[in-house]
Structure 1
């Protein structure tokens, strides 16, 4: 018995073995059209066919008789009457000739590498009209118990691998779905402020923090002024600024970008003040800038001998801490 499979693209038959199918889980490549297909799908069992014995040629049966008739009559009498033993006629060879039109084809004995899953076609492509008959003949062949067990084990192995891959993919999707809200919790709260209480409770369990969104463009400088504090010390000045949160949700306190200029609007000095530097100690920086709230900032600065005559004040996103 031999196992064959059929290419679904060009209908070419191939002789295969269980070891070749197991090398790539049944995935083989057609040597004629180079199509990759599942060798288990069109697998069938073909019985071994023994060639019929060639009949003996009729010429051998009458070989001896033909020799005796060809001898002359005088020689025949002399052979019978004489004491000498007549020479024996050689027996004809009994090896039958090969049937006309039958040729032996050499079989390649070189083993293919274990990692190669493509096989050279051993049977030529069936002509048009014979495909249906060959499929019917293959489907009517009785399966062998050993090969049927091998096929069933291969199918069960493929089903188990499919189930493992499906379960692993589902777990990865669940892990990704749970990791995305955790990694982008601050952006989620900034986009949907109503989720902040729920995210804050979740962070208490996971020991994480939810940073307030930094939106300096939603905070407006309502008023700002720079005055001298002590006439005896002209270098000591006080910056007063009023900020208002125009967003509909809490924001993180911004950083203040202060630039001191002279009478010609040339920059003399520049400094960035973080929230913990300009906020009163009574305010909690982590609580954030309440929605629609307003705060007033007072900053005392010692400019030395710069002789600042003007200033520029701007708001920048504060770094997360």
Structure 2
């Protein structure tokens, strides 16, 4: 008959822990490679290996909300192996990696002995646990912390602010155009932009005109050949601009020997132009026009004269 040997502990043996194992520790010691557990607080699903459960008697710390819970009490039931084979799904493996930012950590709780009590035994936790690929905890976590209305505000506030700033800038630009439309409208490189804008907002820009580009030449004053006390004025006006513009006004002034004004008169374009120009009243670009008109003789005191071009 086979004899059974009974071992009695020696006096120098370390006393064993006489406490009965907790249910969690007993279940953690079960020969299972990996389980799927769900955090009861943030509902994130994790993989946990048997070695990790054994290190903390089944307690784990959620890598998302830092909540400590019993992984075995919140274990997620997985389909049987034959059902996996029938549906084509692969069995869970602790080495599988799932693309999710959430991580779980194994953390000792109050039930574990102090780390300083054992010198020759150490437990090393492997790579951070991964989250189930079918679970995306970020929306639920943000909703729990900030609320749905706050999350909506976080995304809608910048869009509303940008729209408000854009409307403000547009209104300010239109106000500047309305205020300085006449000045800016006289700039050929800005006129092409100002004209369509003013047609919408109703500002007036007037005709493009630059009298600095109009010169007078060959001015002469002589007695009229047919009428007494009448002077005949002749001159040449030249438009040096690259654009057609309205004819200018002409200011003819007579002075005496001391330089004092004796007589002066401002002539409108229709008063000094020939009939062929009075209809359209526009000075062609880069062209010269000969002007001739008559005036009354201002008298013998008028010994000198000048001609100014006015807008």
TM-score of Structure 1 vs Structure 2, range by shorter chain:
0.3 to 0.5
Normalising by structure 1, report the TM-score.
0.41
Structure having greater relative contact order (Cα 8 Å, sep ≥ 6): 1
TM-score (normalizing by structure 2) = 0.42
